[in-house]
Structure 1
Amino acid sequence: MAVFLNEQDVEQLLTMPLALAAVEAAHRQLSSGHACDVPRQRTRLPQTTLHILQGALPELDAIGYKAYTSNRSGVRFLVHLFEASSGRLRAVIEADRLGMMRTGAASGVATRCLARPDAEVLGMFGAGWQAEGHLEALAAVRALRRVKVHARHAERLAAFCRRMSERLGIDVVPLDSPEAVVRDSDIVSTVTTASTPLFSADWLSPGTHLNAAGSNSLIRRELGEDVLKRCSPIVVDSVETALREAGDLLPLLEKGRLQARSLVELGEVLCGRQPGRSTVEQITLFESQGMAVQDLAVAVRLEALARARGVGIELPYGG
């Protein structure tokens, strides 16, 4: 019978090491041609938008989709996981935490293969729910000594820094100045809903690695053209998806100042088909939009853990 996992079950089972391993494996399988992914599709009404990401990981006997609705009242996520071999439903999983962790894990995987090994200072924009997973993932792949954070709401920012300092045992400090966040940082991450660029390229040090995790639609933009001109390579989770919704990249692609062929997929770097960082001076960039195969890879591991530990409830349908 299919199993249902609610948010509390996911919180009990899901760890960042699990998410990192799942996301990396998904990108390797995709790059090797052993997986498929369909870019996000949206159905829009004045009140509500339905978003669907779908894909398959045949090596894990997995096919499925994540569907979520966005409305003024909130966002609601569900992953539906099926057996690829039989079509039977395996699991239905509430996926707010799952999505937050896998989004952070994608930047963690990219940071592990693109940031300098000695990177220890992180500058971060954003102090919301997604920023928690992002910081946890980066702390898992680099020995961070100090984290500088800037966000619009001072109270939320202060609370975020206190909470993450206690959780990770790292010096996480709030800063009022975007310039101070960027200058002298080894890694700079943006996890926001910004519609205009957050910082100037002049503030970046040689050798910085950038993670841009918030620009997943045409109306969102975290990095300006001045920053993108300094980045090499520009790594994306999927070229097809980036060409549809990477708000940071699309203006330059439209103007012909950036070519699609210059974008590098994360899986290609992981599998050694494309170079990542080749010099200590390079400013590298990972643009994250999110993919179904990331969700499904995490869901497969959660289902196995849930069955092994007796977590969740059996569903009366889908068998």
Structure 2
Amino acid sequence: MTQTLFLRSADVDGLATPGEFVDAVREAYRQRGEGAPAEPRTKLTNADPPGFLTTYAAVLPETGTMGGYMYSAGFGAEDAWFTTPLFDAESGEPLAMLDGASMNPFKTGATGAVAADALARADAASAAIIGSGPQARGQLRALATVRDLETVWVYSPTKEHRESFAGEMDRSLDGSVAAVASAAAAIEGADIVVTATSAGEPVFDGDALEPGTHVTAMGQYSPGKRELDATTIERATYVPDLRERALQDAGSFLHALEAGVVDEDHIHGELGDVVAGTVPGRQSDDEITVFDSGGTGIETVAGATLLYEKAREEGLGQTIDFAPGSEALTGE
């Protein structure tokens, strides 16, 4: 038997700061850039009742942990349930099982911030956030740890949502955060654009992007959905979280491929390649860059490890017994 720590969402909620998530995720992507294994998501769908089951995984050898996500959405409950197993990368023993719901926006936001830090202009001081849900909140909080944001414009289709989001963020961040009436107004003059939506069609016109803009798109992980139009992909230095995922479920990139405006060589490199320095990041102030964030086990394992270590320090969670396969199968 080995003792494994079970951590509820309430145990880990607020346990780490956005900056700590960013540091952990940056280190994880550096390891990926130097060869750490990671796989893109698998998605199994069900027709009746409608829903899907998703998994993805990664090994972080230097961190000493491995694991990933398994989550369901839809089905009869019409909700989502996130589980995060974490294993010791040397012994293989299970270290923890986390309810991953509250971690989700933080580790995803940290990934966007790592990408912005590597790809946005060093003097970037304004941002557009398209979306006003938990993921948008996580993206903005993390982004504010890597750039001194003076002005943030927020757009989402529902007026009450965007105004509420802007008011909350304006009170919690140093810069000014305000709601605007359209995506076009949000991206005008923005140094960094973040899309955090469930939109099936592009949320802004790529011709309107000004030279030097960085875009993080994190709501497009289905071949049939795309937050960015083909023009944006064509104009940009394109960096996905995983190259294999870009060719599997990155809807915007796949649409641009189908339209014939780019080919597979348009993939500049993975985020890990940029963080590790094996491919260059931004190369000019006029360059438009895109980070395509569909979700991987890299940031999941990094975030889960961070929370596991902090929970142990604070004595949080409860232990459960896991039987090794040899003992469970043989009874010895």
- TM-score of the superposition, structure 1-length normalised? 0.95
Pairwise CA distance, 1:256: 4.0
Secondary structure of 1:316's counterpart equals: strand
| Structure 1 equivalent of residue 25 of structure 2 | 23
Output the amino acid matched with 1:81: L
In structure 2, the residue matched to 1:252 is 256
Q: Which residue of 1 aligns with 2:37?
A: 36
Corresponding residue for residue 97 of structure 2? 92
Q: Deviations over 1:20-67 (max 9, x none)?
A: 11111111111111x211211122212221111112122233222311
- One-letter amino acid of the structure 1 residue matched with residue 31 of structure 2: Q
Could you tell me whether the CA contact under 8 Å between 1:239 and 1:260 is conserved in 2? no
Q: Where in structure 1 are there 5+ consecutive unaligned residues?
A: none
Identity of aligned residues (%): 35
CA distance in 2: counterparts of 1:106 and 1:42, whole angstroms: 21
Runs of 4+ in 1 over 4 A off after TM superposition: none
Aligned residues: 317
Distance in 1 separating the partners of 2:143 and 2:323: 38
Q: Pick from 55, 58, 65: which aligns with 1:55?
A: 58
**Aligned twin of 1:139:** 144
Structure-1 residue corresponding to 2:67 = 64
The alignment status of 1:297 with 2:299, answered yes or no, reads no
**Which amino acid letter does the alignment assign opposite residue 239 of structure 1?**
R
Give unpaired runs (5+ residues) of structure 2. 325-332
Residue correspondence of structure 1 range 1-319 to structure 2 within 5 A: 1-33=3-35, 35-46=36-47, 47=49, 48-71=51-74, 73-231=78-236, 233-263=237-267, 264-317=269-322
Q: Is the 8 A contact 1:22 1:298 kept in 2?
A: yes
Structure 1 residue 5 displacement after superposition: 1.1
- Deviation string, structure 1 residues 204-232 (Cα, Å, up to 9, x no partner): 2111111111111112111111222211x
Following the alignment from structure 1 to structure 2, what is the Cα–Cα distance between the partners of residues 65 and 113? 24
Q: What is the Cα deviation at residue 76 of structure 1?
A: 0.9
Q: Distance in 1 between matches of 2:45 and 2:289?
A: 35
Residues 127-168 of structure 1: per-residue CA shift (max 9 Å, x gap): 011001000011111110111011011111111111111122
SS in 2 for 1:216: coil
- C-alpha deviation, 1:91, in angstroms: 0.3
- Asked whether the 8 Å contact 1:89–1:318 carries over to 2, the reply is no
Cα 1:208/1:5, change in 2 over 3 Å: same
Secondary structure (helix, strand or coil) at the match of 2:177 reads: strand
Contact kept in structure 2, 1:194 and 1:220, CA below 8 Å: yes
Per the alignment, do residues 130 and 6 of structure 1 end up closer, same or farther by CA in structure 2, a change over 3 Å counting?
A: same
Contact 1:67/1:77 (<8 A) preserved: yes
Write the distance in 1 (CA, Å) between the matches of 2:14 and 2:142: 17
Q: 1:65 & 1:213 partners in 2: Cα distance?
A: 18
Mapped to 2, the partners of 1:304 and 1:178 lie a distance apart of 40
Distance 1:129 1:171 in 2: 19
Q: TM-score, normalised by structure 2?
A: 0.92
2:32/2:273 contact within 8 Å kept: no
* Alpha-carbon distance between aligned partners in 2 of 1:318 and 1:211, rounded to the nearest angstrom: 42
The superposition leaves residues 240-262 of structure 1 with CA deviations (integer Å, 9 ceiling, x where unpaired) of 11111101100122344322233
Distance 1:170 1:318, change over 3 A: farther
Residues 59-83 of structure 1: per-residue CA shift (max 9 Å, x gap): 2332223111101621110100112
Q: In the alignment, residue 259 of structure 1 is paired with which amino acid?
A: D
| Alpha-carbon separation, structure 1, partners of 2:82 and 2:323 | 19
Q: Indicate conservation of the 8 Å contact 1:190/1:214, yes or no.
A: yes
Counterpart CA distance in 1 for 2:205 and 2:258 is: 22
CA RMSD of aligned residues (A): 1.4
